[in-house]
Structure 1
Amino acid sequence: MCDFLAVGAGFSGAVIARSLANAGHTVSVVDSRLHIAGNCHTERDPQSGVMVHRYGPHIFHTDNEQVWDYLNQFTTFMPYTNRVKTTSGGKVYSLPINLLTINQFFGKAMSPAEAQSFIEEQADLSIEDPQTFEEQALRFVGKDLYEAFFKGYTQKQWGCSPTQLPASILKRLPVRFNYDDNYFFHKYQGMPRDGYTAIVERILDHPNISVRLGTQFSRAQVKDYDHVFYSGPIDGYFDYDLGRLGYRTLDFREIRTEGDFQGCAVMNYGDESVPYTRIAEHKHFSPWEQHDKTICFEEHSRACEEGEIPYYPIRLTEEQAMLRDYVDKARREAGVSFVGRLGTYRYLDMDVTIAEALEASERFLTLREQRETIPSFFVEPI
């Protein structure tokens, strides 16, 4: 039996801790916050009774059957389809851009084939190899749809011009020439009946696992354990001695009222003149429940400052160079592996986070049994 430490009680730390505990080892899990589940934390709002996604909406979706089966050991998923709306120019449209969006925006009644030809006419085909977000959008949908649905929203979300962002960001957003408004294509999609915190709590419920919240970690503690799995910010591990990697954070403005505030779970706001990116009405994330009151949050995106919660890694040129330096330092550390969204400075969906944690723990146990070197990274961060 060995004694391991998982830093962070989100999905990365919890899944790794459970795998090691199942293998007979003792695992301590620490988190600087006073709750588990990280940014996926959910809790009942005492005034309305609504299950609130405290750090913004999380909808589970995946094609990974192993991850789906794994989570179903710890929760019951309820059917949920993510249907996003957006307000632009004083009108409401459906996202992602689909046949309804196109016909409504242009005041037409086109068939799928007609719409496809029409969008090809709008697209800027002179951009053969899009390098930036803006070029990718113009190449995909043309100037009008780009400015209505992407330009302002993206500028608010990332705090910079879309001309400074890589084209890869927009590859996540499809255009559909049918009336399908399901935001995700994945085989499995749903909401955990009891929220995400309950899942993490059950994953951590093992006699070999101890959890300490409100507990700070320092790299000096690494020597006290057989191995450490660190899912905190990679720059934070080194006390930011090379500088701080760039993140966006979110401010939430609470809205409370009776009944139904906006009629959907998520309403985006594409106009740059609107200071927030979207409003989430949390009762709609649990459509199997009934609540007379409602609670919503406006999301305001801005640069993450010292002591604030990091949400989205920026990964622009300056951050990439600094990240390489931190990765080089991490590779020289002994007895610690960097995992998860913050530990590898990557944007990760929940299913990818869980899949990587399962793979990391399995590989770790195999390498340890074979007395081989444990890597600093199980997934390359660059």
Structure 2
Amino acid sequence: MKSILCVGAGLSGAVIARTLAESGHAVTVLEARDHVAGNCHTERCPETGVLVHVYGPHIFHTDDTEVWDYVNRYEIFRPYRNRVKTTVGGRVYALPINLHTINQFFGTAMGPDEAFAFIEAQADTSIVAPQTFEEQALRFVGRDLYEAFFRGYTVKQWGCAPSALPASILRRLPVRFSYDDNYFFHRFQGMPTTGYTAMVRRILDHPGIEVHLESRFSRDMAGNFDHVFYSGPLDAWYDFDMGRLGYRTLDFERFTHGGDYQGCAVMNYPEVDVPFTRITEHRHFAPWEDHALSVCYREYSRACAPADIPYYPIRLVEEKKLLGAYVERADTEVGVTFVGRLGTYRYLDMDVTIREALDTARTFRIHDARGTRMPAFAVRPI
């Protein structure tokens, strides 16, 4: 039996803690906040009764059967389809761009093949190998759709011109030549009936796990344990002595409404003259519930300052260079493995986070059985 420390009680720390506790190890979990579940924390609003996604909405979606079965082991997930709307020029459209969006925007009534040919004609076919976000958009949807739905939103979300962002960011946003407006392609999609925090509490409910909330980690604690799984920021492990990795953070302007405010869970506002990126209405994330009042968030994106919660790793050229330097140092560490979104400086969906946590814990068990060294990264950041 080994003594294990998991730094952070989000999905990474909780899943690793549970997996290793079930293998007979003694696990301590340290969490700096006053709750578990990290940024997918949910809580009941005492005024409205609405289950609020405190740090912004989290919709669970995956093609990974084992991960889907895993979360349903600790919570009942109800079917949920993410159908995003966007307001442009005083009109509401469906996202991702689909046949309805195209016909509505251009005032047409095209079928799939006709619409495909039409968008191809709009596209800038002189761009053979798109390198930037802007080039990717212009190549595949053309100037009009790019300007309406992508350019302004991207400037607000990332704080820079779309021409400065890699094309890979836009590859996650599909264009569909059907009337399917389900945002995700995955087989399994749902929301936890009683929320993510309740689910994570159940994951951590094991006699081999000891959880300490409002408890900050310092590196001198590592010597008290056989191994540390660290889900905090990679650069924070080194006290940012080579500089800080860049993130975008979010500010939320919360307000309540007497009734249904916008009729959907997510309404985007891609126009630059609207300061926020979207409004989320949290009653719609649990459509099986009935509430007289509503809780909404206006969401603003900005550069992350030292005291802010880091949300989205920027990962542009300078950030990747600094990341490489930190990874090189981390590779020499013994007794610590860096995990999760912050520990590996990567944007991770919840299902990928859980998959990597399961795999990381299983890798540790193999190394423990063989008496070999557990690496600093079970999944390489770069």
Equivalent residue, structure 2, for 1:232: 232
Q: Deviations over 1:25-48 (max 9, x none)?
A: 110000111111000000000000
Equivalent residue, structure 2, for 1:56: 56
Q: Deviations over 1:55-111 (max 9, x none)?
A: 000000000001001111100011111000001111110000000000000000000
How big is the shift at 1:311?
A: 0.3
Equivalent residue, structure 2, for 1:95: 95
Equivalent residue, structure 2, for 1:248: 248
How big is the shift at 1:2?
A: 1.3
| AA aligned opposite 1:243 | G
SS of corresponding position for 1:103: helix
Matched, 1:268 2:239: no
Equivalent residue, structure 1, for 2:179: 179
How big is the shift at 1:220?
A: 1.6
Equivalent residue, structure 2, for 1:80: 80
| AA aligned opposite 1:80 | Y
| AA aligned opposite 1:354 | I
Q: In structure 1, what is the Cα distance between the partners aligned to 2:254 and 2:173?
A: 28
Equivalent residue, structure 2, for 1:326: 326
Matched, 1:134 2:111: no
Matched, 1:7 2:7: yes
Q: Which runs of 5+ in 1 are unaligned?
A: none
Equivalent residue, structure 1, for 2:161: 161
How big is the shift at 1:166?
A: 0.3
RMSD of Structure 2 on Structure 1 (CA):
0.5
What is the aligned-residue identity percentage?
A: 65
Q: In structure 2, what is the Cα distance between the partners aligned to 1:67 and 1:79?
A: 16
SS of corresponding position for 1:279: strand
SS of corresponding position for 1:72: helix
Give the 5 Å matches for 1:337-352.
337-352=337-352
Equivalent residue, structure 2, for 1:372: 372
TM-score, scaled relative to structure 2: 0.99
Q: In structure 2, what is the Cα distance between the partners aligned to 1:32 and 1:162?
A: 35
Q: In structure 1, what is the Cα distance between the partners aligned to 2:101 and 2:243?
A: 44
How big is the shift at 1:329?
A: 1.1
Equivalent residue, structure 1, for 2:125: 125
Q: In structure 1, what is the Cα distance between the partners aligned to 2:257 and 2:83?
A: 22
How big is the shift at 1:116?
A: 0.2
Q: In structure 2, what is the Cα distance between the partners aligned to 1:294 and 1:72?
A: 27
Over 2 Å off, 4+ runs: none
| AA aligned opposite 1:287 | P
Q: In structure 2, what is the Cα distance between the partners aligned to 1:194 and 1:91?
A: 35
SS of corresponding position for 2:74: coil
SS of corresponding position for 1:292: coil
Equivalent residue, structure 2, for 1:209: 209
Q: Which piece of structure 1 moves more, 149-158 or 215-224?
A: 215-224
Matched, 1:311 2:307: no
Equivalent residue, structure 2, for 1:23: 23
Q: In structure 1, what is the Cα distance between the partners aligned to 2:50 and 2:193?
A: 12
Q: Deviations over 1:179-204 (max 9, x none)?
A: 00000110000000000001100000
| AA aligned opposite 1:201 | R
How big is the shift at 1:359?
A: 0.3
How big is the shift at 1:238?
A: 0.6
How big is the shift at 1:244?
A: 0.6
| AA aligned opposite 2:315 | R
Q: In structure 2, what is the Cα distance between the partners aligned to 1:236 and 1:215?
A: 16
How big is the shift at 1:373?
A: 1.5
How big is the shift at 1:218?
A: 1.3
Q: In structure 1, what is the Cα distance between the partners aligned to 2:43 and 2:254?
A: 15
**Aligned pair count?**
382
SS of corresponding position for 2:46: coil
Q: In structure 1, what is the Cα distance between the partners aligned to 2:244 and 2:216?
A: 18
Matched, 1:189 2:168: no
| AA aligned opposite 2:182 | N
Q: In structure 1, what is the Cα distance between the partners aligned to 2:316 and 2:257?
A: 40
Q: In structure 2, what is the Cα distance between the partners aligned to 1:239 and 1:28?
A: 23
Q: In structure 1, what is the Cα distance between the partners aligned to 2:304 and 2:273?
A: 22
Q: In structure 2, what is the Cα distance between the partners aligned to 1:140 and 1:90?
A: 25
Q: In structure 1, what is the Cα distance between the partners aligned to 2:276 and 2:188?
A: 30
Q: In structure 1, what is the Cα distance between the partners aligned to 2:307 and 2:219?
A: 18
Q: In structure 1, what is the Cα distance between the partners aligned to 2:70 and 2:285?
A: 22
How big is the shift at 1:335?
A: 0.5
Q: In structure 2, what is the Cα distance between the partners aligned to 1:102 and 1:46?
A: 42
Equivalent residue, structure 2, for 1:289: 289
| AA aligned opposite 1:18 | R
| AA aligned opposite 1:293 | L
| AA aligned opposite 1:237 | W
